[in-house]
Amino acid sequence: MIQAIDLVKRYNGTTAVHQLNLNIQPGDIFCLLGANGAGKTTTINIFLNFVQPTEGKALINGMNVMQDGLKTKQYLAYIPENLMLYPNLTGLENLNYFSGLAGKKYETGELEMFLLEAGLQEEAHRRRVAAYSKGMRQKVGIAIALAKQAKALLLDEPTSGLDPKASNEFAALLQKLRQQGVATLMATHDLFRAKESGTHIGIMKDGKLLQTLTTEEINHTDLEKLYLQHMN
């Protein structure tokens, strides 16, 4: 569902992504671990067609994102690290707008269900986003992704800034989506979360994917050791 073939991205001289190959199947949650500047966000941005790869191909549902940029976006949902919404609109209005942009039509009741499912308490639905905390905005972002009913999920450190409870609820949601056959690519710093909710883990450094493993192969302590080994 999410596929990278020999993906290279160079910014005048520096290589952000080097020879990246990924193949994330429906039901997979691929956690990309790595320090800041490892190329995780660039990889996600290539899949979003925000950044053009220098070489190689990025495919969503078998379609090249460079050629069918708009079409591939039907299949994917994206939650950035710091999700921003329109401050003068309510959470519900934001959700309605963004899901509308994706071509989905929902009744207000259905939209509220998505917000509840994403963990946003009901009294916040009709308040303007200007008064929301970061975590609340992130939940609206999750609701937007849920409403889109995407087959591929691109997450760029989605839980940073969420409190542990919200983070836990998010992990549960990811599992639910996984069971529905959604393929997920998640960039994260959170080794614990990666081990808990991921199916696969990739360790990235200086644009290179150094090692890929399944979460079943490794326990948390070993993962941390392995990670630090690669980083040093």
Partner 1 sequence: MIRRIATKEFTEILREGRFQVAAIITIALLLISVVISRSYYVAVNEQHAQARQVERALWLNQEAKNPHSAAHYGTYAFKPKYLLALLDPGVDKYTGISIYLEAHRRNEAQYMAAQDQTGLARFGDLTPDFILLFIIPLLIVLMGFNAFTREREQGTLALLKSQGVLPSNLAFGKWLGSYLAIVLLVVPVFIISAILLALVKDFGPFNIGALLLLLLVYLVYYAIFTGLTLTVSAGSKNSGVALVTMLAVWMVSVLGMPKVASNLADALYPYPTRQAFEAGVNDDKKRGLNGHEPWSEEAKALEKAVLVEYKVDSVQQLPFNFDGYLMQKGEEHDAEIYYKHYALLRQQFENQTNVYRLSAILSPFLPTRFLSMGIARSDYQTHWHFADAAEKYRVSMMDKLNMTFAKSTTYSAEARNWKADPSLWKQIPPFEYEPPTYATLLQQQTSNLLILLGWLGLSFLGLIYAAKKV
Residues that bind partner 1 (CB under 8 A): 48, 50, 70-74, 76-78, 80, 82-89, 93, 97-98, 100-103, 141, 144, 148, 154
Q: Which is nearer to partner 1, 36 or 70 (CB)?
A: 70
Q: Is residue 142 within 8 Å of 119, Cβ to Cβ? A: yes
Q: Which is nearer to partner 1, 3 or 49 (CB)?
A: 49
To partner 1, the closest distance from the beta carbon of 137 in angstroms equals 10
Q: What's the CA gap between 158 and 185, in Å, rounded?
A: 11
Q: Is residue 51 within 8 Å of 43, Cβ to Cβ? A: no
Q: Which is nearer to partner 1, 134 or 205 (CB)?
A: 134
Q: Which is nearer to partner 1, 11 or 97 (CB)?
A: 97
To partner 1, the closest distance from the beta carbon of 228 in angstroms equals 31
To partner 1, the closest distance from the beta carbon of 101 in angstroms equals 4
To partner 1, the closest distance from the beta carbon of 102 in angstroms equals 5
| Cα 219–Cα 221–Cα 227 angle in degrees, nearest 5 | 100
- Encode 86-122: b = buried (16+ Cβ within 10 Å), e = exposed: eeeebbbbbbbebbeeeeeeeeeeebbebbebbbbee
